[in-house]
Amino acid sequence: MTPWPALFSRLPQLVEKLEAIAHPLLTVEVDGEAVARLVRPSRAELEAHARRAGMPTLTPEGWLREALGRVRDYYPEPREQVALYAGSQPVAVLRRRGVVGHAA
């Protein structure tokens, strides 16, 4: 089983950690290689975006789900692990084999 389902099941906890760290840069690593660097919008930025006519309303969890979903589409079968970092601080490291993973 890939680490993606475990990562998606922890979205509320991941958002809490990301907001506590308060670093806007989110790095996604797959098998030890940085495959995406994303600028994570704040709650206020997401709310302001939603106020514009025709724009979608996204929660931080929804934004993270969409962002990670796009990365998963490119890397659906990691050999070893998927890791998330806010700046240089680890947020989650989920391994493919053995224990599903842990939040850093």
Give pTM, 2 decimals: 0.83
37 within a domain of the structure (yes/no) = yes
60 alpha carbon, distance to own chain's centre: 10
- Does residue 20 sit within a domain? yes
Q: Is residue 104 part of a domain?
A: no
Count: domains in the chain: 1
pLDDT in tens, 21-79: 999 999 999 999 999 999 998 888 887 876 777 666 788 898 999 999 999 999 999 99
* Contacts of 68 by beta carbon, 8 Å cutoff, 6+ apart: 4, 7, 8, 28
In a domain, 35, yes or no: yes
98 has pLDDT over 60: no
Q: Which domain holds residue 18?
A: 4-97
